[in-house]
Structure formats: structure tokens, C-alpha cells
Amino acid sequence: MLILLPNLVFVRFPPTNPPARRTANLLLKASEAIGRLGVMVIPLFYSMRAERSYETISLIVMLAAILFYYWGWIEYLRSDRSYARLLAPMLGIPVPMAVFPCLYFLAASIVLHSILFFVFAAIFALGHIANSCRDYLLIGKS
């Protein structure tokens, strides 16, 4: 739930300058929606285990991803809620506000020991990162 919490910020404090409407790529939107549903539902049926070193590394990746994600949200709020801030590179990583939650979910698949969760996380990542890149390019052209 911690990774989804900042989305409430987005609802409560919407961006001041969202991009103009764009033609949606139905495949990418479907990928993002299906993946989002999967990463929210599947963990209800698994428990996390961190007994081996690779599981601990996955937990560290999850923690780092969520901290950077929260940092991005803080920067968004400090920048007068500029939509471009949500897409601006951070630490050289393009569209970090899309990359960090995807990295979090992919690492979570390891501690959940769930190939099914990994599949949904990858589907979500495909749609979420691609849609964010499209928005980033759109903002760059305006």
C-alpha cells in the first residue's frame, strides 16, 4: 500500500499544467491497467520471505525505489505541482516517477516468490513507462 499512497496526493493535489489531451495508445493503456490490477490483487495471496541474500537485496531495492519515489513526489509538491516535474529525469533516470514504482514491483516479485506477480509487474511496467515517455515527449514539444 505504501507504493500506492502517493497516488492519493495526485488526486488531492492535481498538476497545475497537465499536457494537452493526446490520442491514447489502447494497447499501452490496457497493459498499464491490467498490470495495475495484478500488482494490487496478487500480493493478497502471497507472503513475503527474506531468508536468502538475493531476497534481502530485493528488499533493499524495494526500499530504495520507494524512497526515491517519495522524493519525486515531494519535489512535485515543492514545484507548484508541475506535471513536467513528475516526468523530469532524476539522478539521470528518465521518467523516474514511472520507473521507481515499476522497479519496486519487479523487486517485490522476488520476495513474494511469485512468477505471476512478476508477469503482472512487467505488464504494468511496459504500459506505465511507455505512457510516461509519451507524455514526456509531448511536454518537450510544447
Note whether 123 and 40 are within 8 A (CB): no
Residue pointed to by grid coordinates 502471497:
46
Give the model confidence (pLDDT) of 33-84 as tens digits: 999 999 999 998 888 888 899 999 999 999 999 999 999 999 999 988 888 8
How many angstroms separate the first and last alpha carbons of the chain? Answer: 35
Q: How many CB atoms lie within 10 A of CB 81?
A: 17
Q: Residue 28's pLDDT band (boundaries 50, 70, 90)?
A: very high
User: What's the CA gap between 8 and 90, in Å, rounded?
Assistant: 22
Give the model confidence (pLDDT) of 101-136 as tens digits: 999 999 999 999 999 999 999 999 999 999 999 988
Q: Domain map of the chain by residue range?
A: 50-142
What Rg value do the Cα atoms of the chain yield, rounded?
15
